[in-house]
Amino acid sequence: MYAFEVVFDHLPLFLTGLRNTLLLLVLSAIFSFVLAVPLALVVTRRVPVATPIIETVSYVFRGTPLIVQVYLLYYGLAQFAFIRASVLWPWLREAWTCLLIAFTFGTCAYLIQILRGAIEAVPHGEVEAARAVGMTPFQTLRIVVLPNAFRRALPNFENELIFLLHATAIASLVTVIDLVGAGRNFNTIYYFTYEGFAIAGLLYLAIVGILRLSFALLEKRLLVHLRRAGI
């Protein structure tokens, strides 16, 4: 196919797209994780007022399309004069900021649920053992509960990361040149109809492959103790 011959003339375009896609993926993943761990702890403790608020907000994020959240921020915020006048406006009007905020909160909403399940699945005997050897509550959390919960949640983290990667394609709809954006520009240069999207699709496939492989290796190392013998 002609498109696959000329694609090598446009490597910088696709590399820019790849860089932006990966940047969105990695930054949103880190932000949402850092945010989700304390919030999940609050949810598992059933703190009055705080837990219902976190649950409700997380439900709203999980129940609405990410693209609507992005549009709400990117096109919607300009409706309010006080936001346009605020010191944050130079950042808030950038597509990157809106995307990172939406991706972070959208992923965080799911991570809270995953982490809550994983934390509640930690055997209570392990917590009691930690107490019995004299660990403080914080030590119990840091040495026993969280490492255990993170390991159990690995397969869910993997799925969530792949969903996040899929979600980053929305960036191309608000002016960011991610992989899809690069594919679209490529189409425009040659009057192609779909070839650029096919190349973008293959690159996404490659990223997913690498992610799955890395998680398989990680799980093999970290979940040794959960594997059943003899099967």
Partner 1 sequence: MNVLADFLPIVLRGMLVTVALSLGAMVLATLIGLVAAWGRLGGPRAVRGIVLAYTVLVRGMPPLVLMLLIYFGGQTAINAAADAMALDPVQIDPFTAGVVSIGIIFGAYLTETFRGAYLAIPQGEIEAGIAFGMPAATLARVVILPPLMRLALPGYWNIWLTLVKSCALVSVIGLQDAVYAALSIGRSTREPFTFMLVVMALYLAYTGLSDLAFRGLGKRLARGTRVVRV
Asked if 123 interacts with partner 1 (CB under 8 A), we say no
Indicate which single residue of 19, 31, 51, 76 sits in contact with partner 1 (rule: CB under 8 A): 76
Asked if 122 interacts with partner 1 (CB under 8 A), we say no
CB of 38 to partner 1, least distance (A): 25
SS3 content of the chain, % helix, strand, coil (to 5): 85, 0, 15
Asked if 78 interacts with partner 1 (CB under 8 A), we say yes
Each as own residue / partner, the long-range contacts of residues 55-58 (CB below 8 Å, 24 or more positions apart, any chain) are 57/109, 58/108, 58/109, 58/112, 58/113
Closest to partner 1 by CB, 130 vs 170, is: 170
Asked if 168 interacts with partner 1 (CB under 8 A), we say yes
Instruction: Tell me 228's DSSP state.
Output: P
From the list 50, 149, 69, 150, the residue with the least C-alpha distance to 107 is: 69
Contact 45, 145 (CB under 8 A): no
Instruction: Report the C-alpha gap between 66 and 21 in whole angstroms.
Output: 16
Q: Point out which span in 42-50, 107-115, 129-137, 204-212 binds partner 1 (CB under 8 A).
A: 204-212
> CA-CA distances (angstroms) from residue 30 to 58, 96, 149?
18, 16, 17
In the chain, what is the straight-line distance between the N-terminal and C-terminal CA atoms, in Å? 47
Asked if 204 interacts with partner 1 (CB under 8 A), we say yes
CB of 181 to partner 1, least distance (A): 11
Instruction: Report the C-alpha gap between 71 and 173 in whole angstroms.
Output: 9
Strands (E), 94-229: none
Name residues contacting partner 1, limited to 42-61 (CB under 8 A). Answer: 60
CB of 135 to partner 1, least distance (A): 26
Asked if 65 interacts with partner 1 (CB under 8 A), we say yes
- State the DSSP string of 48-117: TTHHHHHHHHHHHHHHS-HHHHHHHHHTTGGG-HHHHHSTTHHHHTSHHHHHHHHHHHHHHHHHHHHHHH
Asked if 107 interacts with partner 1 (CB under 8 A), we say no
Indicate which single residue of 2, 8, 12, 63 sits in contact with partner 1 (rule: CB under 8 A): 63
Q: Point out which span in 31-39, 73-81, 90-98, 110-118 binds partner 1 (CB under 8 A).
A: 73-81
Q: Point out which span in 4-12, 31-39, 147-155, 193-201 binds partner 1 (CB under 8 A).
A: 193-201
Q: Point out which span in 11-19, 30-38, 69-77, 137-145 binds partner 1 (CB under 8 A).
A: 69-77
Question: What is the binding site for partner 1 (CB under 8 A)?
Answer: 60, 62-69, 71-72, 75-80, 165-170, 172-173, 179-180, 183, 193-194, 197-198, 200-201, 204-205, 208-209
